[in-house]
Amino acid sequence: MDTFFRSILQRIHSASMPLLSRIPVRLWRGPAAGLISVGALAYTDIFRDESPAERFLDELTLAGKTVYDIGGYIGITGIAFARKTGEKGNVICCEPNPVLVRLIRKNKRSNKMYWLEIMNIAVGEADGQAEMYVEPDRAAAGTLRKNAAANSKFAVTVRTVDSLVKEGVPAPDLVAVDAPGYGLQVLKGMTTVLRKGNCALIIALYDNDTAAVISLLMKYGYSIRHIEQAAMITDAAAAASLRSGHIYCTKNGN
């Protein structure tokens, strides 16, 4: 029975998304509070409290900084970062799904965030081409890993953070990564930045790569804090039990 009702709800959600994606709403909570977003109506709850990750982002000082938003979705974090950096900063929003990129562009225009740069690319371990798989009604959960549940796939360009910086994109002061099951590949594609730079990172954790992500960051001298648990992570093996949440990572001594 649960499966039946879930199927009905998915169909209703799917049928309503073309309309919902065109309706602008003013965001009530989080670091983008007060800004306008199309595509966010189905995810807006005026009664909920801010999450720990949202409160953490609220407190970041980013004026004049360069931020990479990897896995931009509909651009809510992108416009929030752009407000925080101001016109003297840079926000590079990377999103491989062209449907979502169109929404990011609308949100950029609606909020006059003209210093927000949008790249219709995936970010990974090596430059090249790949196929992105998208499940029904789950545009945000697109993945570069082969997915039998996906009902569509399309070719995407893959770039590394290191190659973007090498060709002249400003080096990041902060990299935010929300790439389900692909965070490790993103980090492997930015080892030069990790080794030579002092950029901070905010990474959404997913259960299939947490230990490897943390092990790699420790290798490059990062201190790691789990935002939701407000606790430092000092052991990659023990961190494997952390299957969700976000980590904030800074170079030791910074």
More confident residue, 220 or 243: 220
Q: What is the mean pLDDT of the chain?
A: 85
Q: Quick one: pLDDT band at residue 43, thresholds 50, 70, 90?
A: low
Asked if residue 132 belongs to a domain, the reply is: no
Asked if residue 56 belongs to a domain, the reply is: yes
Q: What is the mean pLDDT of residues 28-48?
A: 73
Q: What is the mean pLDDT of residues 74-79?
A: 94
Q: Which of 184, 186, 167, 225 is nearest to 70 (CA)?
A: 186
Asked if residue 210 belongs to a domain, the reply is: yes
| pLDDT the model gives residue 12 | 45
Asked if residue 186 belongs to a domain, the reply is: yes
Q: Distance (Å, rounded) from C-alpha 224 to C-alpha 47? A: 31
Question: Which CATH number characterizes residue 84's domain?
Answer: 3.40.50.150
Asked if residue 31 belongs to a domain, the reply is: no
Asked if residue 99 belongs to a domain, the reply is: yes
Q: Distance (Å, rounded) from C-alpha 95 to C-alpha 238? A: 32
| Structural domain range at position 114 | 50-121+161-251
User: Which among 17-31, 124-138, 170-184, 205-219 has the top mean pLDDT?
Assistant: 170-184
Contact 92, 67 (CB under 8 A): yes
State how many domains the chain has. Answer: 1
Asked if residue 30 belongs to a domain, the reply is: no
Alpha helices in the chain (DSSP H): 2-20, 52-59, 76-85, 98-110, 161-166, 183-188, 191-196, 210-219
Asked if residue 13 belongs to a domain, the reply is: no
pLDDT higher than 70, residue 47: no
- Collapse the DSSP code of 123 into the 3-class scheme (helix H, G, I; strand E, B; otherwise coil) and give the result: strand
Kindly report, residue by residue over 146-197, the tens digit of the pLDDT: 665 556 788 999 999 999 999 999 999 999 999 988 899 999 999 999 999 8
Q: Quick one: pLDDT band at residue 9, thresholds 50, 70, 90?
A: very low
Q: What is the mean pLDDT of residues 41-56?
A: 74
User: 52: how many CB neighbours lie within 10 A of its CB?
Assistant: 15
Letter for the amino acid at 30? Answer: G
Q: Quick one: pLDDT band at residue 49, thresholds 50, 70, 90?
A: confident
